[in-house]
Structure 1
Amino acid sequence: MFMRTRRTHARQDAGRSAPPSSTFGDGSTADAFRFSDLFHLTRRPDSETPLAVARIRRFLSYYRPHIPLLLADLACAVIVAITALALPLCAHQVTRQLAALNNVPAALAGIYAVGGLMLALLAVQAVSTLFVDYQGHVMGAKMESALRRDVFEHCQKLSFGFYDRIRVGQLMSRITNDLFSLGELYHHGPEDLAISILKFAGATLILAQLDGPLTVLVVVVIPFAVAYSLHYSGRMNRALKLSRAQIGAINERVEDSLAGIRVVKSFANEDLENRRFEAENARFLESRRAGYWSEAFFSVGTTTFPQLITVAVIVVGALRVAQAKLEVGDMLTFLLCVAVLVDPVQRLANFVRLWQQGRTGFDRVMEILETVPDIQDRPGAVTIARARGSISFRNVGFRYDEDGPHVLLDLNLDIRVGEFVALVGPSGVGKSTLCALIPRFYEARTGAILVDGTDVRDIRLDSLRRNIGVVQQDVYLFAGTVAENILYGRPEATAAEVASAAKAAFADEFIRALPNGYDTDIGQRGVTLSGGQKQRLTIARAFLKDPPILIFDEATSALDNESERAVQSALAELARRRTTLVIAHRLSTVRNADRILVLTEQGVVEQGDHDSLIAANGAYAGLYRMQASL
């Protein structure tokens, strides 16, 4: 067996220390490098389809499950537009009936008939509007939910390397805030376009029939209104991008501070955290201020231009009435049609605003969806049932960055079925990295890792990881009960199996002493438990999984002496039935290992069982004596 290691720069073992800070492509802070750089490096190549076209297709694809509802929504939108156009025509008929007052009974009958028709049209319009507002919004919410689900599912596929570089707060912002406006766009986009086109075309045609010159006056103003709206909508979009990036930074600050609230309080640094938050909050306020400035001008324009058109129609229309070129009834109908004509302009401006907001959010989440997971199943990857547990490293090399130093180089190692192997040595020599390569948390750059003689890249990821149990030094428990956290190892397990796993991890006694036993809620990250109790729950979770291969990454580091001895006994019992790798700084936990590998910057400098290594009086013996003297 031969192995050489190289020390990493900032990371130790499995990338525990934080990488250098940088910024996202949208200007917000993040780890390691720009999110946009990650996106451009890893998005799926498609030489035939431009990125914008591909994204539009992806955007439209979310309508596919809702085509019947979309068609019904558009049909109701068409009815709303038609009834809106019909009402001014009905009013025109009423004014014509007023001209026939020399035959009062006939005129009144006509007025009543038209009035009844108008009420019927209003009823149809109200029902159609109700359908559009409710069902349309439900449709938009379902599409937004589907996209959020896709983003979350894709995040589950991304490797440890991705999360080493990207802050969770930024991802949370993209999964939540960035999708809020998409539901509105999905709903209002098609109906606003349909209503706008029908109303504009219909109203313009009616106006032209009533008075051509006055129609030209109205139509001439509309392009200026549209251009004004587009200009300030664009400015709003730029401000929106900045504010959304900044809310991501606020999420990061909040997540960091609240997750580490015990550290904050232990150092009495509440004021420091408040100042840090206030700095991010002030940047967010400034980004919103720019957006509100543009939004104010946008809002002023959308209200002023319609009023300007109305004033122009009243003044010029009155002049044409005085010149006997337009009848008073026609002028009244003209004003009503102008109101109908103005609505499409406002809807178009609203659509542009929604499009800008929705596209900004969609582009940001697409950067995640277009990030190709760097660890995937190979074509033809096989599913294995229960592995026997042999592990082999063949000329394995690994480094975290493409141009970074090697952590492992030319590693050759064989671990037999059922062997209990301990990895010891100083931090940063590749112990955790070595173990993280087996379940493919990271991918070996060179060489191959074999489980039962099969390259792990030829085994389906889910199948491979079901055969490997990992208990890490950094304990993570989910909010919920004790039983739910242990069941995470095997959700279909019975209560008896949960209790058996807890007993194997010597956790059953303290669990039963809790207020509600296994049904006790342990809070976020197991906040109500001690460090040793939390660690034993994670060990119980791994025991319940019952994998043929176990990896303990300094899993007993948080245990007191009594708990350590208990877990050590449990490990010894389990090791007789499965392949076990233990990374340990406390050498007392691995005295019973079948083989101990001593790793340094020079590689594996020693190997053997505890007694033989002590007798050799080498590096291991020195480490052991040093710990014994503490």
Structure 2
Amino acid sequence: MKVIESENYNSIKKLRKYMKRYSIPIFLNILLAIISSAVSSAPLALIKRLFDKGIIESNEKDILYAAGSMILLAIIGAVLVYWNTVFSALISASIYKNIVDDIYIKIQKLDMEYFSSAKIGELMTKVVTDPNNINSVIKETFNMIPEIFKVVICFGLALSIDWKLTLGILIVAPVLITVVKKYSKKLKRSGKKRQEAMGVINSKLQESLSGIRVIKAFAMEQEEIRDFRIKNTKLKRIAIQTAKYNARSSAVSEALNYIMIAGLLLAGGYRVLRGHDFTPGDFVAIMGAISSMYAPIRRAITRFNEISVDIPSVGRVFEILEEEPKIIDNENKILFQYFSDNITFENVDFKYKDSEERILKNINLTVKKGETVAFVGNSGGGKSTLVNLIPRFFDVSSGVIKIDGVDIKDYDVKSLRKNIGIVPQETFLFSGTILQNIKYGKRDATFDEIKEAAKKANAHDFIENLEEGYNTEIGERGVKLSGGQKQRIAIARAILENPQILILDEATSALDNESEKLVQDALEKLMENKTTFVIAHRLTTIENSDKIVVLQQGEIKEIGTHTELLEKNGLYRSLYNKNFDFSKKK
């Protein structure tokens, strides 16, 4: 229990840095809440005068005074409530925006290794749902402030009329506090489980949408539905359990309220009958004060329970915000401007964090400017991992990669990546137009430059045949284009950026023969006068490479030209023969 309380205290502490930015609006909001509570409680003081002087003593002036004062208080109260609500919305919406902005900025800065282990669905929950829950926590907290002040003011008024009677009927208060505290702890645990279950649901949904073609190809719809229902049922159970905790807390509060009112009626009624300077006005006023405490107490408990459910979201959001990227610029970073000589891998090892298995082992390789180097080998041999080290998507575990004799860790990361073009196997296009996608890496490109890049990528003709041409909306991830068309758009994007170093990661593996020819021709234009790293599944496409590197289980087994490696009669020849036989069968 202490661990849970400590976690939530730390979560609230972390939120304070956001709240400090709005200290003046928060102060004004609290001030308005106090005044609003005082105004809404003021009619209780008028009731005593109305009964004792206006009704019992038949004084019409006091009746008119009480009625007029209540109308005035109603108008003032309405204005105060309006501005109190506006300030609450302003503060909560502003803090929500700041948190979401910071999360998105952090996501852009985090390393690829973070995303390789994070589930996208759970990440989406932390980015979208959790900040919304934090927004609810802030709003409910501000809404709870006037409720608490009203309780305090009503309690003070009741004490001022008859402190003995007031304290006597509040004997049930410790029971109420104990109940609220008990169920708030359960609701916090339940809220954390709910967010985790929602993360699992979102992850499953994202996975299903991304893999819908595979699901249908294997006729696995029913199995997927069954798995989703199991996960969704778990979320339902948690939601029901949360509702039960809320219901029990509310039920006990309701019962205690009626017990308290019954005690007040009994004790107060006897006091009026027996006199002792306790007038009917006193009785009605204290009755009204105690009764008026019930509604805000109940609302405050409800808000407190909702805060308890949502408060774990603060910790989940700060899990991202406190994540520190490992790939950062050195203080004395060097701007990467021009590649002039070579790229060297010196005793390079790589393994993922929290893993002892080395993916790459003692890689030593020199690539000269203008060379085309192809990496071949069985799946899982470390080819993609190796080329991903060049733009520092990952950092080496040991050893060093140098460009022109400078450790790539000493280069400014952004300038390094700006000079490295990547055409992956699975092309990613953003929703928007073809024009926007081609100029993604060079926003200031002219239309003539964009068109020239598209021509070199063999994309101009099919783009012109589209109804909207370059302004055609391609849908999410380019869903309206074929695989070959998307790949040529990606190549046009790389041509426009004109990088000095190029990485082609199985760029034609998912294409049909006709599309592959068009894409291969576009790639050759892209590769002109560039240092190129190629990962290819069809060995016939890399026969003219200056250097072929054979990787197996993370180690370089052979290096040479196509002819040299065939003459060795080693691993490359074996791979080539298998590949050649497969091509003939096709």
TM-score (norm 2): 0.91
Contact 1:419–1:575 at 8 Å: present in 2 too? no
Percent of pairs with identical residues: 33
1:399 aligns with 2:351: yes
1:519 aligns with 2:471: yes
* Residue aligning to 1:491: 443
CA–CA distance in structure 1, aligned partners of residues 43 and 559 of structure 2: 92
**Cα RMSD (Å):** 2.5
Query: Is the contact between residue 130 and residue 317 of structure 2 (CA under 8 Å) also seen in structure 1?
Result: yes
Distance in 2, Cα, partners of 1:225 & 1:601? 65
Equivalent position of 2:117 in the other structure? 165
Alignment match, 1:324: 275
Indicate if the aligned counterparts of 1:482 and 1:518 stay in contact, CA closer than 8 A.
Answer: yes
Shift of 1:110: 3.1
TM-superposed deviation, 1:52: 6.9
| Equivalent residue, structure 2, for 1:81 | 37
Find the partner of 2:251 among 300, 314, 320.
300
Greater Cα shift, 517-526 or 243-252: 517-526
Greater relative contact order (Cα < 8 A, sep 6+): 1
Partner of 2:512 in structure 1?
Answer: 560
Cα pair 1:595 1:607 within 8 Å, conserved: yes
Distance 2:54 2:334 in 1: 84
Q: Secondary structure at the match of 2:42?
A: helix
Structure 1 residues 115 and 528, CA gap change in structure 2 (3 angstroms): same
What SS class does the counterpart of residue 311 from structure 2 fall into?
A: helix
Distance in 2, matches of 1:494 and 1:220, equals 79
Query: d(CA) in 2 for partners of 1:503 and 1:303?
Result: 75
> Aligned in 2, Cα 1:302/1:150: closer, same or farther, shift over 3 Å?
farther
Give the aligned partner of residue 501 of structure 2: 549
Conservation of the 8 A alpha-carbon contact between 1:222 and 1:345: no
Q: Matched residue of 2:87: which SS?
A: helix
Amino acid at match of 1:380: N
Q: Residue 477 of structure 1 aligns to a residue in which SS?
A: coil
Deviation at 1:162, TM superposition (A): 1.8
Q: Check whether the contact 2:137–2:307 (CA below 8 A) recurs between aligned residues.
A: yes
Give the 3 Å change call, closer, same or farther, for CA 602–240 of structure 1 in structure 2: closer
1:330 CA displacement: 0.8
1:275 aligns with 2:226: yes
Q: CA deviation at 1:240?
A: 2.0
Mapped contact 1:593–1:609 kept (Cα < 8 A): yes
Counterpart in the other structure of 1:572: 524
1:541-620 to structure 2, matched below 5 A, reads 541-601=493-553, 603-614=555-566, 618-620=570-572
Secondary structure at the residue paired with 1:580? Answer: strand
Residue 237 of structure 1, CA deviation: 2.2
For residue 159 of structure 1, what is the amino acid of its counterpart? D
Q: Give the C-alpha shift of residue 317 in structure 1.
A: 1.0
Given the superposition, is the C-alpha separation of residues 584 and 318 from structure 1 closer, same or farther in structure 2, using an over 3 Å criterion? same
Note if contact 1:564-1:589 (Cα within 8 Å) is conserved in structure 2.
Answer: no
Structure 2 match to 1:70: 26
Name the aligned partner's letter for residue 399 of structure 1.
K
Distance 1:291 1:51, change over 3 A: closer
Match of 1:288 in 2: 239
How many angstroms apart in 2 are the aligned matches of 1:478 and 1:82?
Answer: 55
Shift in Å at residue 158 of structure 1?
2.1
Alpha-carbon separation, structure 1, partners of 2:29 and 2:67: 28
Counterpart residue identity of residue 469, structure 1: G
State the Cα deviation string for residues 154-192 of structure 1 (Å, max 9, x = none): 222222222222211111112222222321322332453
Task: Mark the runs of 5 or more structure 2 residues left unpaired by the alignment.
Answer: 1-5
For structure 1, the 5+ residue unaligned runs are: 1-49
User: Match for 1:360: what amino acid?
Assistant: P
Q: Which moved more, 1:298-307 or 1:406-415?
A: 298-307
- Whether the 8 Å CA contact 2:457–2:489 is kept in 1: the answer is yes
Matched letter for residue 220 of structure 1 = I
2:312 maps to amino acid: T
Structure 1 residues 53-80: Cα deviation after superposition (integer angstroms, max 9, x where no partner) = 7644420111133223222211210111
**Structure 2 partner of 1:229:** 180
Aligned residues: 576
Shift of 1:51: 7.7
Cα deviation, 1:539-572, whole Å, max 9, x if unaligned, reads: 2222222211110111121233343333333333
Decide whether aligned partners of structure 1 residues 310 and 132 sit closer, same or farther in structure 2, where only a CA change above 3 A counts: same
Q: CA deviation at 1:271?
A: 1.5
Does residue 260 of structure 2 align to residue 309 of structure 1?
yes
The aligned amino acid for 2:229 is: E
Letter in 2 for 1:275: R
Greater CA drift, 427-436 or 353-362: 353-362
1:351 Cα deviation after fit: 4.7
Match for residue 422 of structure 1 among 368, 371, 374:
374
Map Cα deviations across residues 467-514 of structure 1 (whole Å, 9 max, x no partner).
111121122222332223223232332333222222222122222223
1-structure distance, mates of 2:112, 2:34: 50
Over 3 Å counting, the alpha-carbon distance change for 1:628 and 1:477 in structure 2 is: same
Q: Which residue of 1 aligns with 2:393?
A: 441
Cα distance in 1 for partners of 2:254, 2:449 equals 68
Aligned counterpart in structure 2 of residue 192 of structure 1, from 144, 153, 167: 144
The Cα of 1:82 is off from its aligned counterpart by 1.1
Give the CA deviation at 1:264: 1.8
Instruction: Give how far 1:613 is off.
Output: 4.1
Distance (whole Å) between structure 1 residues aligned to residue 332 and residue 43 of structure 2: 65
